[in-house]
Amino acid sequence: MKINWQVRFKNPVFIWQLLLAVILPVLAYFGLEGKDMTSWDVLFSTLGKAFSNPYVVFLILSSLWNAVNDPTTHGATDSLTALDYTKPRKDDK
């Protein structure tokens, strides 16, 4: 699986995708909303409960897979063009 991780982590959209891929399944499973996370203690406690539940871990891994996988290429790799990028490509017209 060849993925250009350096370039992906330079893209703030990708970082948000990863964060949301972990947090949203946890919040949904426990029936919580973002406003319920009132302290770091509550957040880490909720994440701890989530990672001890195999079903929630499966949901998180599925969400992460969807955030990382590029459906425009065959398999689970970046295209040869994307592997050569040194920064996220900006499509200018």
Average pLDDT over residues 17-29: 95
Q: Report yes or no: 10 and 88 within 8 Å, Cβ to Cβ.
A: yes
Q: Which two tokens stand for residue 3?
A: 């993925």
Taking residues 62-77, report their average pLDDT.
Answer: 90
Between 55 and 92, name the one with better pLDDT.
Answer: 55
Q: What is the C-alpha to C-alpha distance for residues 28 and 50, in angstroms, rounded to an integer? A: 11
d(CA 5, CA 78): 10
pTM of the model: 0.83
Q: Is the pLDDT of residue 93 over 70?
A: no
Structure tokens at 33: 């909303």
At 21, is the pLDDT very low, low, confident or very high (cuts 50, 70, 90)? very high
| 79 or 53, greater pLDDT | 53
Burial-class residue 47 by CB neighbours within 10 Å (0-12, 13-18, 19+): middle
